[in-house]
Amino acid sequence: MVFEPYAGFLGLVTFQYTAVDGSEAEPATTGVTVLVMPEPVFSADSQGDTAGYVSSESGSFGDATLTNFSVSLNGGTTAQITPSGNAAAAPLADIAGMADALGETNQITLTSSFETVFAGTTYSGTSTSITDFSKADFAENSAGTLGNDVLLGSDDGDTLGGAGGSDAILGFGGDDTISVSGSSAARVDGGDGFDILKLMSAGTFDTGELNAAFNISNIEGLDLRNDGNDAVTLGYDDIFGLTSDPVTPGLTVYLDAADTIELVASGVQEWQGPTEPSLSQTWQLVQGENILATLGIEITAPTAPPE
Ligand SMILES: [Ca+2]
Ligand SMILES: [Ca+2]
Ligand SMILES: [Ca+2]
């Protein structure tokens, strides 16, 4: 016998059956009661590239109670999510450790446990679902939501916009353009290729503060052309942090004319660059004869006022 509850059903089901063994003995009737639970659902769009929320046990389920809900990523990082009534939901990017554990292919395991008491007996059970959540096959042009999204690109050139919130955005291969609207991110990883991070909101960042706010890696271009007045201070640790290139990290910064950039060097390091103002500049951080890092500065000239 196969029992198929309707989708989302949660409750006690009692089966009674009568066994006949062909002998002369009287048939015996007995029963079994089971707690039927819905599978937890990982919420992502059809391409699997956006996950605003990871989980749901939704609806009204009689008197059974969701007692436990957990999310596990790639068999490792696991987090408990406190149920609210019979629902449990949290943006994946919000869960401690999840953004940093994301890779090209991800397996999301959701586990929910329910409990109910009927006629003095406690029934409990656990239901699990596993969802593969991986980079896209083709170039993505994804806009996130105001909430905390996970955006996964492809190995082509992607355009990924976080649209605010603390997002985790991974571009993978190809030359990607990643934009963030808030003042922080869970993670920005350009992956292979020349990737540009665009800050949609102007900010002031002392050395170390960009990476602390946006958790950046594998980014080669920083675009501050957001029509606000940005002010950034960059040293070796910033350029190494953004590019993740341990050999000779190279970063290009794109500026509005009103933006300011300050270069800092520690100890015997020294920045060397053009002595005349220029809209396109190349700087090198040197220590003795060694080039430690390079920095390109591209300034968008102010538009001439209309005649
Ligand atoms: Ca977002
Ligand atoms: Ca890509
Ligand atoms: Ca890159």
pLDDT over 70, % of the chain: 93
Residue 2: how many other CB atoms lie within 10 Å:
3
What is the whole-number distance in angstroms between the Cα of residue 177 and the centre of ligand 2?
Answer: 8
Average of per-residue pLDDT values in the chain: 89
Place of tokens 């029509």: 227
pLDDT of res. 47: 56
- Domain assignments of the chain as residue spans, ordered by start: 11-134, 141-300
Task: Tell me the percentage of the chain whose pLDDT exceeds 90.
Answer: 57
CA–centroid distance, residue 29 to ligand 3 (Å):
68
Which letter does DSSP use for residue 59 in this model? S
Q: How far is the CA of 146 from the centre of ligand 1 (A)?
A: 4
CA 253 to ligand 3 centroid distance, Å: 14
| Alpha carbon distance 222, 64 (integer Å) | 52
Model pLDDT for residues 142-186, shown as the tens digit of each residue: 888 888 899 999 999 999 999 888 999 999 999 999 999 989 999
pTM (2 d.p.): 0.87
For the stretch 55-68, pLDDT in tens is 776 554 556 888 99
Ligand nearest to the CA of 162: 1
CA of 118 to the centre of ligand 1 (A): 44
Q: How many helices (H) and strands (E) does the chain have?
A: 3, 22
Strands of the sheet with 177-180, listed across from one edge: 141-143, 159-161, 177-180, 196-199, 221-223, 250-256, 290-300, 280-287, 270-272
